[in-house]
Amino acid sequence: MTSVQPETKPARPVMPSATPDVRADLTAKAQAIIARYPAGKARSALLPMLHLVQSADGYVSPEGVAFCAETLGLTKAEVGGVATFYTMYKRRPVGEYLVSVCTNTMCGVLGGQKAYDTLAEHLGVGHDQTTPDGKITLEHAECLAACDYAPVMTVNYEFYDQIDADSALGLVKRLESGERPQPTRGARLCSFKETSLQLAGFLDERDGANADGPAGEPTLAGNRLAERTGVSVPGFDPNTPIKPVPPKAAPASPAAKAPTVPTPAKDSKPAGDDPAPARAATPSNAPGPTAGATSNAGGTANGAVGPANPATSPATGATGSATGATGSASGPAETSQTSGEKPAAEAFTYRAPVEGSEPYGAGSKRVASGAGAPEGFTIKGNEDSGLYHGPASPSYKRTVAEVWFDSIETAEAAGFVAWNAPADVRAARKRAAKEGKK
Ligand code: FES
C-alpha cells in the first residue's frame, strides 16, 4: 500500500526586508519618517511606512506588515486594514514596472479600454497580474486625475498622455527590451521600488528623478477660453480664508447661563464675497523694494497696483498657479495697502448699474460685461463687494468689472476699497454695498 504524501507549498522566498542589512536600513528610514510627526503620533507614519516596505519587498509583504506593526505599536490587523484599503499598496509582488491604464469614463471612451485590452493580450496577463519574468504588472485604473490628457496610462505612476492602443503597445515593448521611455511630463522613469521610496518621502538624488513644471495646454484650455470670452466669477476672491471654528464654550451652569444673544443673519452670498483678513507676507506677495514703510492708502501703495506691473501681464497672469498669478517677485509689491490707513467706510455709496453711464464721475466707465478695459482704465470695481482690484490683485483676471476706474484715487473717491484692505474695512464696505442695494 502506497502512502499519499501531503502536498507541500513551495517555500516563500526570503523577503529583502527580513535580511539584516535591509532591515537595518529600513529601521533607520522608519525613524526618519516617524520624526516628521509630532511626538506620540508615530502611528500617523503608517502610510509612508507602507511605501517604505514596498521599496524593499516590492509589495506589502507579511514581513512588511509585521515591521510596520512593531515599529509603530500597532496590531498587524490594523496595518492590514490600512494596506488593503488603498490601491497603491500592493498585496502581491509587483513587477519592475507597474503599468496602469485608465479605463474610466473619459479615457475609456477615447480608447483607454482598447489600449488596456491590447496590452493584456500582448502580455498574457490580466488585471493585477504580473508577467512570468517579473518585469511588468498590468492593472486597469480608475480615473488617474489627468482626464484633460485622456486617454492616459502611467508606468510606476509617471504619466504617458494621449495614448492609443498602438502607442501603449510600443511603450510596453520598449519596457520589455530594457528601455525606460521618458514620460510625457514629470520625472524620468524609475523602477517600482525606486518610486516607492520616493513615495515614502525620500528624495531621489539621481539626475532627472524629480521634476516639476507648469500646467500644460490641455489643463489650461478652460482658463484660456474663459479669458477670451470674459467669463469669470463675480466677486470671487481666491484668497478668502476658511473661517475658523469658534472654540466651544465650557457648559455653563443654568444659574450662570448668560442671556441668549441673537445670532446675526447668515450671509447668503458665496464664500468668495466674504471679506478676507489681510494676508501675511509670503514669498509671492511680500512687499518688494518699492513698497516702503511710507506707503499709505492713497499714496505709494496706490502705485503698487498700477497697470505697469509686469508680474500680472497677460503673458504670465493667465496661467494661474502654474506661473504664479501674483508673481510679485519681479514687480512692485502689491500688499502695501494693508499697512495703510483705513479708508472711511461711510464714503461708499451704492449707485445702481446703468449701462454706458459714468455713475462715479469722469474717472469711471461702465462697459458691457466682458468687453474689456476701456482705454486708460485699469482698475476694476466690483459693486457686489465694494472692492476694487488693480492688475496686481490675484483676483484681477477673474473679477468682473462692473465699473472701470482710471486710477485708484478715483476708485477710492467713489467709495471702493482695495482688494487687500484690512478685513474690517472690507467687511464694512460689503455691508454698505448690500445695504445700498436694498
Ligand atoms: S478618466 Fe482617465 S484620467 Fe480621468
What is residue 112's three-state secondary structure? Answer: helix
CA dihedral 234, 240, 245, 246 (to 10 degrees): -100
* Minimum-distance ligand 1 atom for the alpha carbon of 149: 3
* Minimum-distance ligand 1 atom for the alpha carbon of 112: 2
Mutate to test the pocket of ligand 1, among 103, 110, 116, 152 (most ligand atoms within 8 A of CB): 152
Write down the pLDDT at residue 227. Answer: 83
Tell me: pLDDT of 288 over 60. Answer: no
Interval between CA 123 and ligand 1 midpoint (Å):
23
* Minimum-distance ligand 1 atom for the alpha carbon of 141: 2
Pocket of ligand 1 (CB under 6 A): 102, 104-107, 143-147, 150, 152
- 327 near 316, Cβ under 8 Å? yes
Mutate to test the pocket of ligand 1, among 106, 140, 161, 164 (most ligand atoms within 8 A of CB): 106
Interval between CA 115 and ligand 1 midpoint (Å):
13
Tell me: pLDDT of 262 over 60. Answer: no
| Amino acid identity at 208 | G
Write down the pLDDT at residue 168. Answer: 98
**DSSP per-residue string spanning 188-207:** PP--HHHHHHHHTT----ST
At residue 4 the predicted structure's pLDDT band, cuts being 50, 70 and 90, is low
Q: What is the mean pLDDT of the chain?
A: 76
Tell me: pLDDT of 301 over 70. Answer: no
Write down the pLDDT at residue 253. Answer: 59
What is residue 158's three-state secondary structure? Answer: strand
Write down the pLDDT at residue 369. Answer: 65
Domains of the chain, CATH where assigned: 16-83 (1.10.10), 97-189 (3.40.30.10), 272-437 (no CATH)
Q: Grid coordinates in use for 393?
A: 490683485
Interval between CA 112 and ligand 1 midpoint (Å):
9
Mutate to test the pocket of ligand 1, among 147, 153, 159, 164 (most ligand atoms within 8 A of CB): 147
Interval between CA 343 and ligand 1 midpoint (Å):
49
Tell me: pLDDT of 335 over 60. Answer: no
The predicted-structure confidence for 7-25, as pLDDT tens digits, reads as follows 677 778 889 999 999 999 9
At residue 96 the predicted structure's pLDDT band, cuts being 50, 70 and 90, is very high
* Minimum-distance ligand 1 atom for the alpha carbon of 102: 2
At residue 348 the predicted structure's pLDDT band, cuts being 50, 70 and 90, is low
Write down the pLDDT at residue 281. Answer: 37
Mean pLDDT lowest for which of 45-49, 353-357, 405-409, 421-425?
353-357
Interval between CA 110 and ligand 1 midpoint (Å):
10
**DSSP per-residue string spanning 81-132:** HHHTTSTTS-SS---SEEEEEE-SHHHIIIIIHHHHHHHHHHHT--TTEE-T
The top-scoring range by mean pLDDT among 123-137, 211-225, 394-408 is: 123-137
Q: By C-alpha distance, which of 143, 101, 97, 145 is closest to 119?
A: 101
Interval between CA 45 and ligand 1 midpoint (Å):
29
Angle of helix 46-57 relative to helix 76-83, nearest 10 degrees, comes to: 80
Mutate to test the pocket of ligand 1, among 144, 148, 149, 159 (most ligand atoms within 8 A of CB): 144
Tell me: pLDDT of 115 over 90. Answer: yes
Residue 331's CB is within 10 A of a number of other CB atoms, namely 21
Q: What is the C-alpha to C-alpha distance for residues 234 and 400, in angstroms, rounded to an integer?
A: 5
Interval between CA 139 and ligand 1 midpoint (Å):
14
| E strands, 142-204, in order | 153-155, 158-160
- 426 near 387, Cβ under 8 Å? yes
* Minimum-distance ligand 1 atom for the alpha carbon of 146: 3
At residue 298 the predicted structure's pLDDT band, cuts being 50, 70 and 90, is very low
Q: Grid coordinates in use for 378?
A: 485699469
Write down the pLDDT at residue 296. Answer: 31
Portion of the chain with pLDDT greater than 90, in percent? 42
* Minimum-distance ligand 1 atom for the alpha carbon of 103: 2
Interval between CA 141 and ligand 1 midpoint (Å):
9
What is residue 23's three-state secondary structure? Answer: helix
| E strands, 156-292, in order | 158-160
Write down the pLDDT at residue 264. Answer: 40
- 297 near 337, Cβ under 8 Å? yes
| pTM score of the predicted model | 0.55
* Minimum-distance ligand 1 atom for the alpha carbon of 105: 1
At residue 2 the predicted structure's pLDDT band, cuts being 50, 70 and 90, is low
Interval between CA 164 and ligand 1 midpoint (Å):
14
The predicted-structure confidence for 56-91, as pLDDT tens digits, reads as follows 999 999 999 999 999 999 999 999 999 999 999 999
Interval between CA 161 and ligand 1 midpoint (Å):
10
The predicted-structure confidence for 36-46, as pLDDT tens digits, reads as follows 999 999 999 99
